[in-house]
Chain A
Amino acid sequence: AQSVTQPDIHITVSEGASLELRCNYSYGATPYLFWYVQSPGQGLQLLLKYFSGDTLVQGIKGFEAEFKRSQSSFNLRKPSVHWSDAAEYFCAVASSGGGADGLTFGKGTHLIIQP
């Protein structure tokens, strides 16, 4: 069975500083990996996804993530955070690209931005 671990429940970053959110997955085959952001009381918005090819993927809002098979990781990064980035971030894995089997989510990382 596939699983996702987000080791950090909360992260506090100063505005303008760089950010890295960690994600480790467990899956027997090549995973399909996603990062979603959720603002309070709202649904999920896809930031980026990895299926194959270049292991460094670019997403919306200036986010990027790097797939490292040897470390079973898919960490999310942003060089300079903005106050509007404060939200809950979820890493997810699927067994198929179209998500036909649904997604397995990590428990999320709550990002707090300090002024």
Chain B
Amino acid sequence: GAVVSQHPSWVICKSGTSVKIECRSLDFQATTMFWYRQFPKQSLMLMATSNEGSKATYEQGVEKDKFLINHASLTLSTLTVTSAHPEDSSFYICSATGSPSQTGELFFGEGSRLTVL
């Protein structure tokens, strides 16, 4: 099946710094990518949807200036957590769908665990 890879798989940073997480589709063109956030022992919450070449669409309550999403190519989307604070510590997961037709399935990355000190 299609492969989606995230990097880094874990990152620790100081409060106030910015962190970039990459999401790559390795063997297909991801026309749409999704970013989810998962708090410990909780479900995945959709943060935003990004289409290649367009601005991301953010879910209600998600600060677009805080979580910058770029989907500049059909195989790469990035999430940048700007001026990170401890409350931003979480597990961030991306997923992708696209062409060739992957009807019926979103492919998920392995997740990136962010810890802000």
Query: Could you list which residues of chain A lie within 8 angstroms of chain B, going by C-beta atoms?
Result: 32, 34, 36, 41-46, 49, 51, 90, 94, 97-108, 110
Contact = CB atoms under 8 A, between A and B. Distances in A.
Interface stretch (B12-20, B70-78, B81-89, B99-107): B99-107
A41 B115 CA distance: 13
B80 to A, nearest CB: 20
Interface string B1-45: 000001000000000000000000000000010100000011111
B42 A102 contact: no
B46 interface: yes
B44 A105 contact: yes
Contacts, number: 61
Interface of B: 6, 32, 34, 41-46, 49, 91, 93, 95, 97, 101-106, 108-111, 113
Contact of B46 (A42, A46, A103): A103
A49 B110 contact: no
A105 to B, nearest CB: 5
Contacts of A101: 49
Given A44-B93, A98-B97, A108-B43, A103 B106 contact: yes
A43 B44 contact: no
A42 B5 CA distance: 12
A51 B104 contact: yes
6 contacts: A44-B44, A98-B97, A99-B97, A102-B34, A103-B34, A105-B43
Nearest to B49: A102
